[in-house]
Amino acid sequence: MNSKSLKVSKITQNKISDYNFPQDNCVFKDERAGILLYQVDCIKFMDTLIEKYPDGLFDMIFADPPYFLSNGGITCHSGKMVKVDKGNWDKSNGADGNHKFNLKWLSRCQKLLKKNGTIWVSGTHHIIYSVGFAMQQLGMKILNDITWEKLNPPPNISCRYFTHSTETIIWAAKDEKSKHCFNYEEMKKLNNKKQMKSVWSISAPKKDEKKFGKHPTQKPLELLERIILASTVKDDLIFDPFSGSFTTGIAAIKLNRLFVGCETEDEFIKLSIKRIKEYIKN
């Protein structure tokens, strides 16, 4: 996909100011690009929006929630064995506690989706089964499970398991009655005029995507571009409750969609703002 061809100069129809978003905790706003970034707990933020928009607000949500991996395990980084310690936000509360958390944020996302809206949730085996079960408990309609194959995964340094080379992304609609958006022809076009399958081979984030720093679970821009192209149309409103390094937001700007993101960590807020400013000035 040629990223330069996806650059846009402005939002042409709907505007971010057309919506009644709160002013509190907004750390970055750009009307021309159609984006808002909040430094706030996503649960509190979504509760505020649900009061204002009880019938739903967002056309699409992408969520990359904590994987709960930071519990003394090991991984490979630059060929060396290192401990997995992403931060307190990634520490497990046990299977029951983690599932309650997934139900908590997913139930709010469901309420904030428009009647035909969809949500994409990415995760490893550590949390994705809980996410899928929570979706079933909430009455959401699971549309696909996408296998993202990482082309150059880090080796399994313990040599006791197969190399972890994939993540699962669940795509689901608000409920069984939803008539979801799927840009079938656009996906065929990206796949050499053939039906696109549910296994996507996409490289890890490129070097220039990490020039201002990196998030430990940062997703490649190409992945988010494909997700947005598949399930939204121009000027749709997208939300990311765990926006991290703002990859979803950058993809939304490139594809002329409106975007709202939440993040709590200072480090990733600073990283996000640097990425936004570089992109919109170009």
Q: What share of the chain is helix, strand, coil (3-state, %, to 5)?
A: 35, 25, 40
Q: What is the pLDDT of residues 23-62, one digit of tens each?
A: 999 999 999 999 999 999 999 999 999 999 999 999 999 9
Q: Specify the pTM.
A: 0.88
* Structural domain boundaries in the chain: 3-281
Q: Which residues pair with 172 in a beta bridge?
A: 119, 142
Confidence of residue 140 (pLDDT cuts 50, 70, 90): very high
Residues with Cβ within 8 Å of residue 47, at least 6 apart in sequence: 108
Confidence of residue 22 (pLDDT cuts 50, 70, 90): very high
Lowest-pLDDT choice from 107-116, 151-160, 163-172, 254-263: 151-160
Mean pLDDT for the stretch of residues 244-272: 97
**∠227-220-171 over CA atoms, to 5°?**
30
Question: Does 3-281 carry CATH code 3.60.21.10?
Answer: no
Cα distance between residue 165 and residue 86, in whole Å: 19
Q: Which residues pair with 226 in a beta bridge?
A: none
- Token output for 78: 């630059």
Mean pLDDT for the stretch of residues 177-201: 98
Mean pLDDT for the stretch of residues 143-154: 93
